[in-house]
Amino acid sequence: MIKTFNFLLVTMFGLGKIKFMPGTFGSLATTIFLFYLFHQLNISSNIILIGWIIIFIYSFYAVSTHIRGSKNKDPREIIIDEFLGQSIPIYLYEISHGTTKKVDEAIIYYVLFFVLFRYFDILKPFPVSFIDKNFKNSFGVIMDDICAGLYVVLTLVSFMIVKSYVL
């Protein structure tokens, strides 16, 4: 039972078994899911944060049990890391300044977050590449995507700072 639950979690309910670009589909599903939670169901950001923290902590165990005994320590079907990393810029956007976001504005930002996250997840700039290459365990699987999500935030904050000086 726990093995099945862990499989469903790390593959985002089997989405990771898609043969073609499972990480991209995981990121896209995360983007759509969070948009729905924030903008259609109006779920409290505190509840979403608590859920994210629980998934983040449990994912280390779930991933480690999923890869135990396998030679491939970062199989393509594990996409819970995409969920965790993709969630960071979206969550921070949603709680920023406590303002209400218009749906059309949110869609533009969500698309931007999706594209930037996939870019950083695929490109793997330092320290993402360091973590990816040197930690062949659940820590490496999860934390390289956490770093990619933080790169998205850093990129957008840098852009806003430059924009404030230029305009």
Report pLDDT for 163: 85
Report pLDDT for 50: 98
Q: Please classify residue 78 by burial: count the beta carbons closer than 10 Å to its beta carbon, then call 0-12 exposed, 13-18 middle and 19+ buried.
A: buried
Report pLDDT for 96: 87
Q: What are the backbone angles phi and psi of residue 25, rounded to the nearest 5°?
A: -65, -35
Q: Please classify residue 126 by burial: count the beta carbons closer than 10 Å to its beta carbon, then call 0-12 exposed, 13-18 middle and 19+ buried.
A: exposed
Residues of the chain with pLDDT under 50: none
Whether the full predicted model's pTM is greater than 0.75, yes or no, is yes
DSSP code for 19: S
Q: Alpha helices of the chain — where are they, by DSSP H?
A: 2-10, 22-35, 45-67, 80-95, 103-123, 128-134, 138-166
Q: Which two tokens stand for residue 80?
A: 């819970």
Torsion sign over Cα 97, 103, 109, 110: positive
Report pLDDT for 81: 97
pLDDT tens, residue by residue, 8-48:
999 999 999 999 999 999 999 999 999 999 999 999 999 99
How many structural domains does the chain have? 1
Q: Which two tokens stand for residue 32?
A: 């759509």
Residue 139 lies in domain = 2-166
Q: Are 114 and 31 in contact (CB under 8 A)?
A: yes
Report pLDDT for 98: 65
